[in-house]
A and B are shown apart, each in its own frame.
Chain A
Amino acid sequence: MQRVEFTREMRDTYTVLVPDMLPVHFALLKNVFQLHGYRMEVLKNEGADVVNAGLKYVHNDTCYPALLCIGQFIDALQSGRYDVHRTALLLTQTGGGCRASNYIHLLRKALEKADLGFVPVISLNPSGLEKNSGFRFTPSLLVEALYSIFYGDVLMLLRNQAEPYETVRGATKAVLDRWVEALTEQFRRRAWLPVVRFKRNLRAIARDFEAIPRARAEKIKVGVVGEIYVKYSSMGNNHLERFLLEQGCEVDVPGLMGFLSYCVEVRIDDIDLYGGSKLARWALRRAMDVVTHFERVIAAAIRRNSGYRPAEPFRVAKSHLNGLIGLGCKMGEGWLLPAEMVELIESGVENIVCVQPFGCLPNHIVGKGPIHALRERYPRANIVPIDYDPSATRVNQENRLKLMLAVARENAAAGNEA
């Protein structure tokens, strides 16, 4: 099978479709790419048609995220809304030992089956797995994308902490939407690059969220960790966040920056474990220094301008692991997943939903594997693993979640008595 390249010429005339993974982040990222000359669109189609397209064109034993992403693409292409001869698809490819690195190939096979083999597929990967002459990460694009991820994480964090307590329904969402718009406008004017501007924005964002009128209520705090797609995508996790909100919980979803940092860190760890280039290690270290610096800036801005809890710095979260799992464990979410569980528990979020696609290989190891040991270390930890797949029904999932919540409420009541 010959790979269809995304050429320089296509860049100006093709619409690039992106699956919906993180609503806030992708809204911002889309704008950045548009500024750099790509016509990009984040797909919003969901429901039975997407799942069916996935089941039809992808091996049914493949993980659910692949099924949904590919289903979403094919459903969109077959909907008639796009000129299929002027459309390209963009999918992330992590390049690790997990089968997720093969999504892109499964997508191409699926397109072939659907008589859409001519549609170019762009791999978004950090490892240089595939190259396209029409798609390049220029330094400025990279920097700007990074900023949108930082903004996305901050907005998501504050939204999660504000929304359950808002006294006027929809107030939080209004602030969030306003900021997505404002940042987009700033992108357009390209007036937001300097760090100074970033800091000023953060301050304003924190204050705006702080100004949302909120009730002083005691809510059950629930953390969500797991495989990256079902963790963030509401289509993937059957609108888990909304369900938990309706059940009166505060939801804590660790940000995307943690995952990106983890992707860098595992390369450093690889060199430490097995040997490798000292120069590469040095460069990766410096990259992490930059991330650490930004984390500090963000945390300070949130702490100074609001009563919200900023995220733990990545290094601290990693150190919490403390031998729970080896740092060489790097496929899928690897050691990041247990690290996030520990971080949540350490910061007082003892109730955790660990989401995973049914039959996800790395999650046998890093998701279900450490739960037993975690409970020994933290007897109050209340962790429920939930599987997602095309046929897992919501009834079943919600029943399990309700059990976790019943125990959470009891723990909370016992805590209050004590």
Chain B
Amino acid sequence: MKIGLDIGSTTIKAVVFDGAGQIVFRHYERHCARINELCASLLSRIDEQFPDGDFQLAISGSAGMGLAEDVGADFLQEVYATRVALKKMAPGTDVAIELGGEDAKILFLTGAGGLEVRMNGSCAGGTGAFIDQMATLMDVPVEDLEALSRAHERTYAIASRCGVFAKSDIQPLLNQGARKEDIARSIFEAVANQTIAGLAQGRPIAGNVVYLGGPLTFFSQLRDSFDKALGVRGVCPDDSLFSVAVGAAEHARQPVRLPEMIERVKRRVGRGNRASCPALFASAAEYEAFRARHDAHSVPTVFDPDYAGNVYIGIDAGSTTIKAVAIDEDRRILKSAYLANRGNPIPAVCDFLISFYREYPKAKVAGAASTGYGEALVREAFRLDGGVVETIAHYLAAKQLQPDVDFIIDIGGQDIKCFRIRDGAIDDIFLNEACSSGCGSFIQTFASTWGLPVSEFAKKGLLAPNPVELGSRCTVFMNSSVKQAQKDGASLEDISAGLSISIVKNALYKVIRTASAKDLGEHIVVQGGTFLNDAVLRAFEREIGRDVVRPNIAGLMGAYGVAVWIRETGFGHSNLLSAEELMHFTQTSETARCKGCENHCLLNIIRFDGGRRFISGNRCERMTRGARSELPNLYAEKRRMLRMLPKGSGARGRIGIPVGLNMYELLPFWNELFTRLGFEVVLSPESSHALYARGQATIPSDTACYPAKLLHGHIEWLLDQKPDAIFYPCMSYNFDEHLGDNHYNCPVVAYYPEVLRLNVPRLKETKFICDYVGLHRPKDFEKRFPKILDKYFPGIPAREVRAAVRAAYAAYEKHMAEVRARGQQMLSQARAEGRQVIILCGRPYHVDPEISHGIDRLIGELGAVVVTEDAVSPLVEKFPTAVLNQWTYHARLYAAAKYVAKCGDPGVNLVQLVSFGCGVDAITTDETRRILHEGGRLYTQIKIDEITNLGTVRIRLRSLFAALDQEARRHAKG
């Protein structure tokens, strides 16, 4: 008899074959990291059921590798095992798709290119664990996703790259009241897209497709999503859960005596060579002293039902929790609540208000306000008197406890917010980017893996002797680090402590980017629900080597701050719904298409009783606020200029040019060149997510930046236009603008045409001109280009080409001069009118609305004029930088920073757009920040990706404007 064991990241599966190769035993269960124990009992069961069996054994699966090594059993790599199994289970399969707990795999069995197996990269979520995580987020049992999904009406685009990204897309949807049914289906589609985008890499998935593994077995809706995305009808064979185990059994050659093997599995202990950190507390006494010190920092809380004075209510509608506080005239807390969001903040807030009215019948509400993700929704729903950006709320709260506070760090459920206070104003804001989660919900996810409430889970780590060293990266990585630690025998206690430490490291080194306490400040206040966890607090103090203040209401600080704010700024009376009105409170939601513009956003409309309503899902504010004349915006201007280029006759043919990356700037050059030569230039359209989806199957490297990956879609679109050639040259060098030490393009901009040529199969349908050109040497280029063109379009007289090249240089110069002139004019006009100006720094291609996600327009809505970095960079002389200044686009960025630092005008500020996955920006962000700080200016960074949660961006920008406002007021006073 043959035993196949498949120990995956979350489940353990086993099959037993009899002598004839028939399956006579199968077992499937979640192992919750208790691998040894479950494996031993499983083998014992097999031993009992088949007492006379002669067994051969093979082990497979990601968690099986270590076990097999330790107990001396044969190991079979799991993808390979799947392939072996398919020969038995589903002969004739062309492509198999297998999703597991943490892995996604595609096996190509037939066709050109031969056998090929692909596994997800270490950064790709979108798997079983991802689905689990999303179910937790939606607060439904994971099994219910199937039924929910069946009842879907529409779907939302959810970033499928990794769980963390998807989470930040789903959370706002939940908060905005989107239907769970629709979200469930959207999650399945995201998984299907992720698998296809990440693993197909240009190879077509067609023929007999087979679905394997847990998620695809349990969720027919997931299979359906795959069918739709692939345009096939895949099948899910019997025993699809057990394919790896079947493969292992099929391959089992090693004879084993079961009782002996069971003993070995039981005796197996971790190898104990894992890295660990010092214990958080050496003794219980030490912990007590620590508690006592922190208990001293508290906001007085009273219960006084007879209180008849003014009351101020603050509500912080966060991403995962709702915090509400009511304070009296002396800023004492009368009532507070810390509630789970459960996907809709409204009922929780409603309950809070009703019970407040009941408990304090005599009190007079003199002001109510909100903050957080759900600020606007809550404000509309309950007719609050105002709202304030979270950062200001937190600062006001911290100031109550520590008047000299100069640094605040807030770790909440989903985000980390840190800000420095200088001279009483918020100076520097750090928010975590989508990729560096490591916040409260992260530890919660792990706690639920062990079936523990988060507080209990965290407590276990306090006295752990050897906390695990887990590094400081994103959750997806953390999963495998935890897995490794378990494999090495780490206890739950040590893992819990390790996770707390990693949260702190993540905040310090990834978000704040600091190495020591002296960079933070003298008086540090830490807050947010996560800091209520003593292990995190201890790890933080230890890591920075300084005692900090943690208020007793650490989790309520946002709400407390808003209450303080409305007390200070309010009018003395409130419009808040009365107890009476709350009795009749109703809420209904519907969706509708916006007819305001060609975007046709799908709006989510929540209606409340009394005609109040809240609209979300809109990309602009036209519908909600009514049309308003838009402020000058150089991004919009640039987009307009590029679409107004002259058109050629097409006598010599049609040339397609993808509008992406550096083409955003060089288009005037190439358009002039080809138009002069009598070609018709066909431009690809403005990017959209749909365009991206068209090309995503041919992307070989999923971790490249979004602007680059978009090009695959542009090329597919151009191919459909059947041009005579597609022109997209490689360029190591850019124009030398004499601002830096060299004038390179970044590697991705320089060589992406090569990636397209090598990976987009359809490019063989046309001529793809991706030769290397050097525009930085005009004389040489003029000589060389006729030869390049001649390879594809022979017979064009060289003299004519040379003249066209000269005209192209002139057209480029003219275009750039126009951009600069327009930008500088906008800038001076805005300042003359007393408006804020934001220099929104990026690369030329960031004007693509699909890349910058309308951030330029958002800034306009917040009341500032937007200009680009290249409008001001020529105003700066070359200056020494602390990094090698070798890329043309980035030299402009440094120059723009220098301009802001030097200009002495507090109304001109810089915001840097950073593409996720842009390695170059790891260098530029720190340097830009340094240059601005030298001039005493604020630095603001916005990270953008495939899908950006504009909510976070809005907070960041509002905080920036609030800080500028504070600063201006302070100057006015002083």
Contacts and interface: CB of A to CB of B under 8 A. Distances in A.
B477 interface: yes
Contact of B700 (A48, A368, A405): A368
B77 A275 contact: no
Report which residue of B516, B700, B747 has the largest number of chain A beta carbons within 10 angstroms of its beta carbon. B747
B922 A372 contact: no
Contacts of A369: 700-701, 754-755, 758-759
A30 interface: no
A194 interface: no
Given A97-B745, A365-B747, A392-B122, A61 B926 contact: no
A138 interface: no
Interface in A258-279: 270, 273-276
B758 A380 contact: no
Interface stretch (B43-51, B137-145, B260-268, B879-887): B879-887
A14 to B, nearest CB: 23
B805 interface: no
A247 B733 CA distance: 44
A180 interface: no
B513 interface: yes
A387 interface: yes
B352 interface: no
B203 A329 contact: no
B481 A372 contact: no
Report which residue of A59, A372, A392, A400 has the largest number of chain B beta carbons within 10 angstroms of its beta carbon. A372
B780 A101 contact: no
Contact of A361 (B480, B505, B777, B920): B920
Given A99-B919, A368-B700, A372-B700, A393 B113 contact: no
Report which residue of B505, B708, B754 has the largest number of chain A beta carbons within 10 angstroms of its beta carbon. B754
A402 B114 contact: no
B515 A57 contact: yes
A102 B884 contact: yes
A376 B112 contact: yes
Interface string A121-153: 000000001000000000000000000000000
Nearest to A360: B919
B31 interface: no
B94 interface: no
Interface stretch (A81-89, A105-113, A165-173): A105-113
Contact of A365 (B114, B115, B513, B752): B752
A59 B122 contact: no
A156 B755 CA distance: 33
A396 interface: yes
Report which residue of A325, A380, A389, A396 has the largest number of chain B beta carbons within 10 angstroms of its beta carbon. A396
Contacts, number: 228
B471 A373 contact: no
A60 B751 contact: no
Interface string B41-59: 0000000000000000000
B129 to A, nearest CB: 14
Interface stretch (B616-624, B626-634, B768-776): B768-776
A365 B472 CA distance: 28
A113 B930 CA distance: 13
Contacts of B922: 59-62, 99
B113 A358 contact: no
B276 to A, nearest CB: 9
A330 interface: yes
A393 B700 contact: no
Contact of A1 (B80, B882, B921): B882
A274 B887 contact: no
A27 interface: no
A102 B883 CA distance: 6
A62 B923 contact: yes
Interface in B841-890: 882-884, 886-887
B732 A328 contact: yes
Nearest to A390: B471
A60 B755 contact: no
B65 A407 contact: no
A210 interface: no
Given A361-B746, A371-B700, A406-B80, A325 B777 contact: no
Contacts of A256: none
Interface residues of A, number: 78
A330 B701 CA distance: 19
B923 A400 contact: no
Interface in B96-138: 112-117, 119, 121-123
Given A102-B884, A326-B730, A391 B65 contact: no
Contacts of B752: 365
B781 interface: yes
Given A59-B513, A365-B748, A406-B80, A108 B882 contact: yes
B923 A102 contact: yes
A395 interface: yes
A101 B123 CA distance: 26
A136 to B, nearest CB: 21
A398 interface: yes
B791 to A, nearest CB: 13
Given A359-B703, A369-B701, A97 B919 contact: no
Nearest to B508: A56
Interface string B458-482: 0000000000010111000110110
A122 to B, nearest CB: 15
B746 A97 contact: yes
A332 interface: yes
B733 A274 contact: yes
Nearest to A398: B65
B772 A59 contact: no
Interface string A224-245: 0000000000000000000000
A407 B113 contact: no
A358 B116 contact: no
Contacts of B771: 326
A359 B917 contact: yes
Report which residue of A364, A369, A392, A407 has the largest number of chain B beta carbons within 10 angstroms of its beta carbon. A364
Nearest to B887: A97
Interface in B576-633: none
Report which residue of A129, A329, A389 has the largest number of chain B beta carbons within 10 angstroms of its beta carbon. A329
A274 B780 contact: yes
A317 interface: no
Contacts of B755: 364-365, 369
Given A105-B884, A364-B755, A403 B481 contact: no
A375 B116 CA distance: 10
B550 interface: no
Given A99-B922, A331-B750, A393-B481, A105 B883 contact: yes
Interface in B729-757: 730, 732-733, 741-742, 744-748, 750-752, 754-755
A330 B887 CA distance: 15
B202 interface: yes
A371 B700 CA distance: 8
B122 A387 contact: yes
A331 B926 CA distance: 23
Contacts of A109: 882-883, 926
Contacts of A380: 114
B218 interface: no
A395 B35 CA distance: 16
B155 interface: no
Interface of A: 1, 47-48, 51, 55-57, 59-63, 96-99, 101-102, 104-106, 108-109, 113-114, 129, 270, 273-276, 324-332, 358-373, 375-376, 379-380, 387, 389-396, 398-400, 402-403, 405-407, 410
Given A48-B275, A395-B487, 4 more contacts: A274-B773, A361-B746, A365-B751, A369-B754
Return the 3 tightest CB-CB contacts between A and B, nearest first. Answer: A275-B780, A274-B774, A328-B772
21 contacts: A55-B505, A56-B509, A60-B473, A60-B509, A61-B921, A270-B732, A273-B772, A275-B779, A326-B754, A326-B771, A328-B730, A358-B122, A361-B746, A366-B751, A366-B754, A375-B113, A391-B478, A393-B481, A395-B484, A406-B79, A410-B80
